[in-house]
Amino acid sequence: MAQVTSDATFEKDVLSAQLPVLVDFWAPWCGPCQMVGPIIERISEKMPGKVHVYKLNVDENPEIAGRFGITGIPTVIIFQNGKVEKQFVGVQPEHVYFNALEKRATGVNNAIV
């Protein structure tokens, strides 16, 4: 299950993580965000111990959203070693997120098409 991060915990949760981290920047009023939510949950369930998966409500956490230039949601960012590795704006198919994470989590491209 995806965990929740915030302005207060983002540094520890995401930037200091040893594993790759997927962060879903979302808001409860955003229709497309509601479409991405179940995809993010499935990815979290498929990759336990390989990646960390977090959700950040941009309305409740404007500092981090602003720091990473989030102007459109949903935005999904993959971080590795505290740096942005890949960013997706808008709804993407599950395999797009999964493939980007799998490559970083294993160093091997086991792409799902």
| 3-106: CATH number | 3.40.30.10
Predicted TM-score (pTM) of the model is 0.91
Tens digit of pLDDT at every position of the chain (113 positions): 899 999 999 999 999 999 999 999 999 999 999 999 999 999 999 998 999 999 999 999 999 999 999 999 999 999 999 999 999 999 999 999 999 998 887 765 444 43
Q: Tokens at residue 87, please?
A: 């960013």
Of these residues, 14, 21, 33, 40, which one is catalytic?
Answer: 33
- The answer to whether residue 33 is catalytic is yes
Cα gap 21→30, rounded to integer Å: 22
Of these residues, 19, 27, 30, 96, which one is catalytic?
Answer: 30
Question: Domain boundaries in the chain?
Answer: 3-106
